[in-house]
Amino acid sequence: MANPLAPRIRLFLGDITTLDCDAIVTAANAALRGGGGVDGAVHRAAGPDLVRASMAQAPCPAGEARVTPGFRLSARFVIHAVGPIFRDMTEDKKTLAQTYESSLSLAAQHNVTSIAFPCISTGVYGFPADAACEIAIDTVLDWLRSNDKPDVVTFCCFSQQDHTRYKKRLGELGLAE
């Protein structure tokens, strides 16, 4: 059965920096100084102004997010979201959900129309991918049920495995494309 939120959810496989979204989220560290993984790709694509703008807003504890311009990216904004370094499922689940909520809240404050999320914390931060997928989708859906902005949320998966995982979960919720 189709989910009424279906028009507001997209799934993409590939590099988040290529997306034509109003805001893209990067999986940052607390110092907001750039790094590897998706953060490395975002900083390379945005150019050196990004690290100056992000570090000026550090530190950013896990569960929180900060916003900067997108500089050379086509995205108007980059949202620097710091997920938990995985240690304990009960605690870190809450922090990961807060990371998504903080990003969505900042996006709404900036009237963002479309936003793309990578799979936060599932790379070097080691969060188990199945649980992270469930938290990401559930938190975004909860937000969209009670907020008009952002209009559209894209889950950006970089691996085929993540894409399959998200597609399955979204399909179970009547949200597959």
Number of H-type helices and E-type strands within the chain: 5, 6
Task: Examine residue 125 and tell whether it contacts ligand AR6 (CB under 6 A).
Answer: yes
The set of residues, in sequence order, having a beta carbon less than 8 Å from that of 135 and lying 6+ positions away, is 93, 96, 97, 100
Q: Which amino acid is at 5?
A: L
Task: Examine residue 56 and tell whether it contacts ligand AR6 (CB under 6 A).
Answer: no
DSSP letters for 48-111: THHHHHHHTT----TT-EEEEE-TTSSSSEEEEE-PPPSS-HHHHHHHHHHHHHHHHHHHHHTT
Of 56 and 124, the one with the shorter C-beta distance to ligand AR6 is: 124
Task: Examine residue 35 and tell whether it contacts ligand AR6 (CB under 6 A).
Answer: yes
Which among 31-39, 102-110, 144-152, 165-173 is the span making contact with ligand AR6, rule CB under 6 A? 31-39
Task: Examine residue 118 and tell whether it contacts ligand AR6 (CB under 6 A).
Answer: yes
Beta carbons of 74 and 20 less than 8 angstroms apart: yes
Of 55 and 141, the one with the shorter C-beta distance to ligand AR6 is: 55
Task: Examine residue 140 and tell whether it contacts ligand AR6 (CB under 6 A).
Answer: no
Which among 54-62, 122-130, 141-149, 169-177 is the span making contact with ligand AR6, rule CB under 6 A? 122-130
What residues pair up with 11 in beta bridges, in sequence order?
Answer: 155
Of 7 and 36, the one with the shorter C-beta distance to ligand AR6 is: 36
Given 98, 121, 139, 154, the residue binding ligand AR6 (CB under 6 A): 121
CA distance 102 to 100: 6
Given 28, 107, 115, 133, the residue binding ligand AR6 (CB under 6 A): 28
Tokens of 96: 């990961």
Binding site for ligand AR6 (CB under 6 A): 15-17, 27-29, 35-39, 41, 83, 118-125, 156, 158-159, 162
